[in-house]
């Protein structure tokens, strides 16, 4: 595993980038867009698994996350550009990887909030990809989104954009434990694996409260990607694989994921697939039995490596 820094498109910060290279020849590249209040290195086991099959994995910590955040005060603070800047940063990593590793088949993996950002990426930079995997994504009802934006705007006006609101956090995660009998911790909704949950709860990069600006970034990207006119900007020939735990509250236990799937189908995307994993929660790459999910993702990638290789050969 290699760690480097490259400039953010906000022209202020440096992006912490992690690279996992296979020992032999690389056959494809997978870029990771991690979720809210986490960081790229949490995908280490997933990346090492893919390395064994020749898939190079790269990802950056978003602004306000992990080692990209310059200090504790910056954790959960994105900045003035909100989701557009974070998406531009993702593409900057794409451009970096393509220049460094050549024109290998290139895929984007977005998890949770990272899947929301990935969905916006597809609308702007989708032509740079050979496929996208969206894990733990969802759909937020318009009334809920509108209320969240109003509350965040009011909190910014009263307390400033760096304010950390326990109320806004509670509102955002309310109900996530409702279907879990006798939860041990407030984060049991992430995975059935108690060791992963305990590690998450003890990690300084996973236990801070988002700033008001961070929540405005979240609401900003949700509002953008759920607009049908913006969904139509996603390339119609881009393969998309939606995966989610059937016990994931972020995806409304599958119902929100189905809405995203249907929105892509309605916009004319021809190759979109959805799989709900029974008995799995939010973090599929950290679930018990994750190796089977890793295998499914690897097989999907290689099924499209073959198709895009054939397309390039015919050009």
Report the DSSP beta bridge partners of residue 58: 19, 31
pLDDT digits (tens, 9 = 90+) for 201-232: 999 999 999 999 999 999 999 999 999 999 99
Please choose, from the candidates 274, 259, 272, 276, the residue with its C-alpha nearest in 3D space to the C-alpha of residue 304: 272
Cβ contact 287:191 at 8 Å: yes
> Residue 102: left (phi > 0), alpha (psi -120 to 50), or beta?
left
Is residue 309 scored above 60 in pLDDT? no
pLDDT confidence of residue 312: 42
Which residues 6+ apart lie within 8 Å of 278 measured at CB?
246
Is residue 187 scored above 70 in pLDDT? yes
Please choose, from the candidates 93, 210, 214, 223, the residue with its C-alpha nearest in 3D space to the C-alpha of residue 147: 223
Is residue 313 scored above 70 in pLDDT? no
For residues 146 and 299, give the distance between their C-alpha atoms in angstroms, rounded to a whole number. 39
pLDDT confidence of residue 159: 98
The model's pTM: 0.96
pLDDT digits (tens, 9 = 90+) for 240-263: 999 999 999 999 999 999 999 999
Range 71-86 average pLDDT = 96
pLDDT confidence of residue 6: 98
Residues 79, 83, 87: CA angle, nearest 5 degrees: 115
Which residues 6+ apart lie within 8 Å of 170 measured at CB?
none
pLDDT confidence of residue 315: 40
Average confidence score pLDDT of the chain? 96
pLDDT confidence of residue 63: 99
Taking each helix axis from N to C end, the angle separating 166-173 and 142-159, rounded to the nearest 10 degrees, works out to 170
Is residue 11 scored above 70 in pLDDT? yes
pLDDT digits (tens, 9 = 90+) for 106-154: 999 999 999 999 999 999 999 999 999 999 999 999 999 999 999 999 9
The sheet with strand 55-60 has its strands ordered as 2-7, 14-20, 55-60, 28-33, 106-111, 131-135, 240-245, 272-277
What is the CATH code for 2-314?
3.40.50.1820
Is residue 62 scored above 70 in pLDDT? yes
Percentage of the chain exceeding pLDDT 70: 97
- The token duo for 263 is 């929105």
pLDDT confidence of residue 49: 99
Is residue 161 scored above 80 in pLDDT? yes
Percentage of the chain exceeding pLDDT 90: 96
pLDDT confidence of residue 308: 61
| 211-227: b (≥16 Cβ within 10 Å) or e | bbbbbbbbbbbbbbbbe
């Amino acid at each position: 595993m290699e760690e480097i820094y490259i400039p953010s498109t906000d022209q202020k910060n440096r992006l912490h980038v992690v690279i996992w290279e296979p020992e032999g020849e690389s056959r494809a590249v997978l870029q990771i867009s991690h979720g809210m209040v986490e960081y790229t290195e949490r995908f280490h086991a997933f990346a090492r698994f893919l390395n064994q099959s020749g898939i190079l994995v790269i990802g950056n910590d978003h602004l306000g996350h992990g080692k990209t955040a310059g200090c504790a005060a910056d954790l959960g603070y994105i900045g003035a550009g909100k989701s557009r800047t974070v998406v531009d940063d993702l593409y900057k990593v794409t451009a970096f990887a393509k220049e460094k590793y050549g024109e290998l088949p290139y895929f984007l993996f977005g998890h949770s909030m990272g899947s929301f950002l990935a969905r916006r990426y597809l609308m702007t930079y989708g032509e740079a990809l050979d496929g996208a995997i969206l894990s733990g994504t969802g759909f937020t009802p318009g009334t809920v989104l509108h209320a969240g934006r109003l509350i965040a705007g009011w909190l910014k006006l009263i307390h400033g954009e760096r304010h950390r609101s326990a109320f806004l956090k509670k509102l955002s995660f309310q109900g996530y434990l409702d279907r879990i009998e006798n939860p041990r911790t407030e984060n049991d909704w992430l995975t059935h694996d108690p060791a992963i949950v305990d590690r998450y709860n003890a990690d300084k990069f996973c236990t801070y409260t988002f700033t008001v600006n961070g929540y405005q970034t979240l609401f900003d990207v949700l509002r953008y990607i759920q607009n049908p006119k913006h969904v139509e900007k996603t390339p119609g020939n881009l393969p998309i694989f939606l995966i989610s735990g059937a016990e994931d509250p972020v995806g409304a236990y599958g119902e929100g994921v189905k809405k995203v799937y249907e929105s892509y189908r309605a916009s004319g995307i021809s190759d979109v697939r959805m799989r709900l994993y029974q008995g799995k929660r939010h973090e599929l790459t950290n679930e018990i039995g994750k190796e089977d999910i890793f295998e499914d993702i690897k097989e999907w990638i290689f099924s499209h490596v073959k198709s895009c290789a054939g397309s390039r050969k015919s050009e």
